[in-house]
Amino acid sequence: MSEIYKLGSVVGIDIGGTKVCIGLVSPEGVLECSERYATKHGAYTEFSASLLGYVYCFFDKYPHAREAQGIGIGIKGFVDYGKQLLNRSSIISADGPIDLCGLISNEFSLPVIIDNDVHAAAIAEMSLGVGRFTGNFVFLNLGTGAAIGVVDDYRLVRGKTNRAGEIGLSLLHRHDEGELYEMETVASGMGINAEIRRLAPAYAHSILAKKAQEEIVVYLSELLDICRQGDELASRVLDNVLNTLAITLYNIQMLLDTELYVFGGGLAEDGWLLKETEKRLECLCRRFGEKWSAKLAVSQLGADRIGVLGAACLYSDAHKINNPL
């Protein structure tokens, strides 16, 4: 049995931009049951009412889940981990910090802990995934945006204000225009489409230029198909994505000297991005006289499960390290 699961089953609540996933995770780290609901964006009063309704629905359908030891919440946003408050999220409109833990705990008489969704996923990887076999790794989430969770000696690195890992906001230099840009504005689902729109005027005959004009969202799989048809814009966008990823990982490795990078999120799931990024990394290292030694792997926990598993792991991990709720 994994060390973090000595307390019993835990309910995980994963709150993302489009869905809320609630699940019961067993002492062995197995997702026993789960349900998905649409995320209600807007004012806190509306969001909180919908969230409480979802939890009630889940407990009504799975009454045994009420016997859980506690609840973990992973959410897209900035969390004050020490105070256990949500400072800011694109999902909820509020004037100040939000006490989601208090909301849920008061309603269901269970202890609750919260952190951001990428920190939660990194802890899930450390507890249940390939991170179990090494105490030093980086979880790289490539979805709508980009962020990392850094694990050092089996501990998540949170930083002074719990914002450690916001690599998507790191700055790089665009060689063709000389401007600075944030990493995730190129190397993410959102970034791919932003890059298509930025470059489209120079490729008027591209299929992608028309899609950009009509504001049609392009996913990585479609971008690859269009690139294979010889589309120059698609080729350039992919080239920029891979270069941005390679430079970012190179810089992280020079700073952390970690053993492993675990790729998660929708962009990474099929493994293509990992393989191509690895090729770029090898070229980059040769150029600067370095040798790439860290391993790259795709998370085996599944993009559709890692969020709720991570939310549950937040609660168990907090108890493992004697961090009081």
In a domain, 46, yes or no: yes
Give me the pLDDT at residue 319, please. 81
Q: Both 158 and 294 in a single domain?
A: yes
pLDDT, tens only, 126-166: 999 998 889 899 999 999 899 999 999 999 999 999 999 99
Q: Both 153 and 202 in a single domain?
A: yes
In a domain, 225, yes or no: yes
In a domain, 5, yes or no: no
Q: Both 141 and 260 in a single domain?
A: yes
**Segments forming the whole domain that contains residue 41:** 10-128+304-320
In a domain, 153, yes or no: yes
User: What CATH number did the domain enclosing 59 receive?
Assistant: 3.30.420.40
Q: Which of 149, 123, 158 is nearest to 5 (CA)?
A: 123
Q: Both 178 and 232 in a single domain?
A: yes
Quote the strand ranges of the chain, DSSP E. Answer: 10-15, 19-25, 31-38, 42-43, 71-75, 78-80, 85-88, 92-93, 112-116, 137-142, 146-152, 155-156, 171-173, 180-182, 260-264, 295-298
Q: Both 286 and 139 in a single domain?
A: yes
Give me the pLDDT at residue 175, please. 74
- Give the total number of structural domains in the chain: 2
Say whether pLDDT at 5 is over 70: no
Q: Both 122 and 143 in a single domain?
A: no
Give me the pLDDT at residue 262, please. 97
Say whether pLDDT at 7 is over 80: no
Q: Both 294 and 150 in a single domain?
A: yes
Q: Both 155 and 267 in a single domain?
A: yes
Q: Both 178 and 289 in a single domain?
A: yes
In a domain, 2, yes or no: no
pLDDT, tens only, 235-269: 999 999 999 999 999 999 999 999 999 999 989 98
pLDDT, tens only, 57-105: 999 999 999 999 999 999 999 999 999 999 999 999 998 999 999 999 9
Q: Both 29 and 102 in a single domain?
A: yes
- φ/ψ of 19, rounded to 5, equals -140, 155
Q: Both 92 and 145 in a single domain?
A: no
Residues 20-34: what's their mean pLDDT? 95
Q: Both 268 and 315 in a single domain?
A: no
In a domain, 31, yes or no: yes
Q: Which of 310, 313, 325 is nearest to 16 (CA)?
A: 310
Give me the pLDDT at residue 294, please. 96
pTM of the model: 0.92
Q: Which of 125, 123, 127, 130 is nearest to 157 (CA)?
A: 123
pLDDT, tens only, 76-87: 999 999 999 999
**How far is the C-alpha of 219 from the C-alpha of 186, rounded, in Å?**
13
In a domain, 1, yes or no: no
In a domain, 232, yes or no: yes
